[in-house]
Amino acid sequence: MTRTTTRLFDKALVLDAIVASFRKLNPRVQLRNPVMFAVYLGSILTTLYWLRSFTQSSTESTGFTLAVAIWLWFTVLFANFAEAIAEGHGKAQAASLKKSRTSVPARRLTDLKSRAAVEVAAPDLKVDDLVLVEAGESIPADGEVIEGVASVDESAITGESAPVVRESGGDRSSVTGGTRVISDWLIVRVKALPGQSFLDRMIAMVEGAKRQKTPNEIALAILLAALTLIFLLVVATLLPFSMCAVQTSGQGQAISLTVLIALFVCLAPTTIGALLSAIGIAGMNRLSQANVIAMSGRAVEAAGDVDVLLLDKTGTITLGNRQATRFVPAPGITDREVAEAAHLASMADETAEGRSIAILAKNLFGLRGRDLEQIQPHFVPFSARTRMSGVSLDGSEIRKGAAEAVESHVKSLGGFLPDQSRAVVQQIAKSGGTPLVVSRDAKVLGVIELKDIVKGGIKERFAELRQMGIKTVMITGDNPLTAAAIAAEAGVDDYLAEATPEAKLALIRDYQKGGRLVAMTGDGTNDAPALAQADVAVAMNSGTQAAKEAGNMVDLDSNPTKLIEIVNIGKQLLMTRGSLTTFSIANDVAKYFAILPAAFAATYPALKALDPMRLTSPSSAILSAVIFNALIIMALVPLALRGVKYRPVGAAQLLRNNFLIYGLGGLIVPFVGIKLIDMVLYVSGLA
């Protein structure tokens, strides 16, 4: 899989984001973020107050008012920049998808039998129209193959250069508009209207500007808006208190509008308010970089809270095809004799199992293919009725297949299945493998063990998930004995054997009744009910249209193990939001010690005791806090975009680490930062 990723601060993206930062000063755009809208209004009021100072005398320095106004505008622009740069990454990815969205002519069938067709523009197609697509032509719309088998180039969608096979029936019948048929032909039933195709939905979801806020993000935004309103009321009441204190004591002066606005901006949770949208957009971008398209932001967030993973055995936990692992000879037969017979019987077997038998024979005994023209064999293909395959050669009949089928075959020729071989068959079956018996004429030569090969490193991945508090459940159509053996080898927590669509659905509902969030993958029509029920449902892009419509995510790589990566991305999103919220709150606490003594020291001299930084002057303290408030937003933009690295540890340790790094760090950094800015202002003569 080849993916093109854009550098975090690509020059073109940064320039576009700077322009977008000014464009986002539109009041209607600012109104979407209540916290930053309040700062935006404060910037306007401070600017107007500065302009007013030219016509009316003021006790406050115009230079101080201008400096505060400028840095408040920078605070708003930095928040806009954080959102714009995150959106820019999404739009860069969407741009590559848009290149593949072309309007192509379509041959709409008017009669399926005669293949009579009329040429129409792709946008004129309707749901359930039938279209004929031949080699070299692009598929005009999303749909399902009802006839034909063809190789399809999906590189415009997935980035994978290797073509894939699409055919009618089964789990590989879904096709995407914009992909190209490179061999043979297909008849496709249209399943999506123009503008509502899978590609259109992908583009809309990848573009950050069209991203819908998640429930958690909405709840946090409401909390931040409430805190902003509380601080606004607190600051508004300080002016009359200050005026009363001056009149009563007869000393000092009432707090000015500039100081009030600066105080409000430093008290309000501006840091997380400025970065909240960027965090969410960046989370969606990371998912799309993993070649997964989420149909809703809710699904991404839910992935971070998942505590049960339902994983299909074949292709996810195991390699997908059973492999020959050993030859077990019958009494009086050598290993090599069994291998030679099995190799001959597998020469025309193009299945993965057949090829693995030939490879094992070659590796163990150096056996190689023979010249078929010289030996002139007669191959017997496998059939579901006989459950055997083999070859007739030099007057001998060599067969391999299911134990019962081969035993019946040798009995018809006067032979029998030895007790030792029968015991081997039973032992292999109990261990979760598949036994194949090999015979020559009426004599059983031995047994081949086929085994599901568990993917390397998958057991360690499941151990990591267990550390996260996530339960793994393997789903398989195998019998309970086989399922139990593979589950034990893979290290999953539980398994569902002989799984049916109804059993999968019932299992998900049982977990959900217990208050657990469930994630699963699927690609077939029979997976659709369970996918629709799961909280995080990842459909394979190679799967059926029904599966893709039932899921809330689509994996363009069709890699079932991607579910583990999706969970990590979801947890990283929640971690980033939580960590920066902790930092923001701790940050605000530290800023109180800078700005409160400065704002009220003239009226209440006792407040000077709350100034541990010993800042140069009240105006320097206020300006330093405002400058720091703006700069810290820019400093945290890379972290918001990259995300906080998630490590598979327990919830208690995560919370402890969060408080130590972002809580304690949020308290210390402002003290250091504000003091350094104050020193710079003093040295430069601006204090």
- Helix, strand, or coil (residue 624): helix
Helix-then-strand count for the chain, H and E: 24, 21
How far is 621 from 682, CA to CA, in rounded Å? 11
Q: Consult the annotation and say whether 555 binds a ligand.
A: no
Ramachandran class of 162: left when φ > 0, alpha when ψ lies in -120 to 50, beta otherwise: beta
Annotation-wise, does 387 bind a ligand?
A: yes
Q: Which residue in 160, 178, 42 sits closest to 100, CA to CA?
A: 178
- The single residue of 129, 142, 312, 478 carrying the catalytic annotation is 312
Token pair listed for 70: 């400028």
Query: Residue 384 annotated as binding?
Result: yes
- 522 bridge partner residues: 539
> Which string of DSSP letters, residue by residue, matches 275-334?
HHHHHHHHHHHHHHHTTEEES-HHHHHHHHH--EEEEEIIIIIB-SS-EEEEEEEPTT--
271 is in an annotated binding site: no
Residue 322 is labelled as binding a ligand: no
What distance in Å separates the CA atoms of residue 130 and residue 111, rounded to the nearest whole number?
Answer: 9
- Assess whether 312 carries a catalytic annotation: yes
Residue 4 CB neighbour total at 10 angstroms = 9
How would you list the strands of the sheet with 471-475, edge to edge? 292-294, 553-555, 536-540, 518-522, 308-312, 471-475, 494-496
Q: Which DSSP string corresponds to 503-535? A: HHHHHHHHHHHTT--EEEEE-SGGGHHHHHHSS
- What span, in angstroms and rounded, lies between the C-alpha atoms of 653 and 651? 6
Cα dihedral 288, 293, 299, 301, rounded to 10, equals 10
Q: Between helices 297-305 and 270-289, what is the axis angle to 10°?
A: 90
Nearest partner of 303 among 325, 324, 283, judged by Cα: 283
Report the relative pairing of strands 471-475 and 494-496 from DSSP bridges: parallel
Residue reference for tokens 């990259």: 642
Tokens of residue 450, six digits: 């086929």
Rounded Cα distance between 642 and 663, Å, is: 20
Q: Interior CA angle at 506 toward 502 and 508, to 5°? A: 120
Say if residue 368 carries a ligand binding annotation. no
Angstrom distance (rounded) from CA 402 to CA 434: 9
Whole-angstrom distance, CA of residue 410 vs CA of residue 416: 6
Q: Is 327 annotated as a binding residue?
A: no
How far apart (Å, rounded) are the C-alpha atoms in residues 335 and 438? Answer: 12
Q: CA torsion sign, 491 to 495 to 497 to 499?
A: negative
Residue 124 annotated as part of some ligand binding site: no
Is 173 within 8 Å of 187 (Cβ atoms)?
Answer: no
**Residue 385 is labelled as binding a ligand:** yes
Helix spans in 542-685 (H): 545-550, 562-600, 618-642, 651-658, 664-683
Strands 443-451, 471-475: pairing is unpaired
Provide the residue type at 176 as one letter: T
- The strand pair at 130-134 and 149-153 is best described as unpaired
**CA dist., res. 15 & res. 359, Å (int):** 57
What positions carry a catalytic annotation? 312
Q: Give the residue numbers of the binding site for ATP.
A: 349, 353, 382-389, 400
Q: Give the residue numbers of the binding site for Mg(2+).
A: 523, 527
Q: Give the residue numbers of the binding site.
A: 349, 353, 382-389, 400, 523, 527
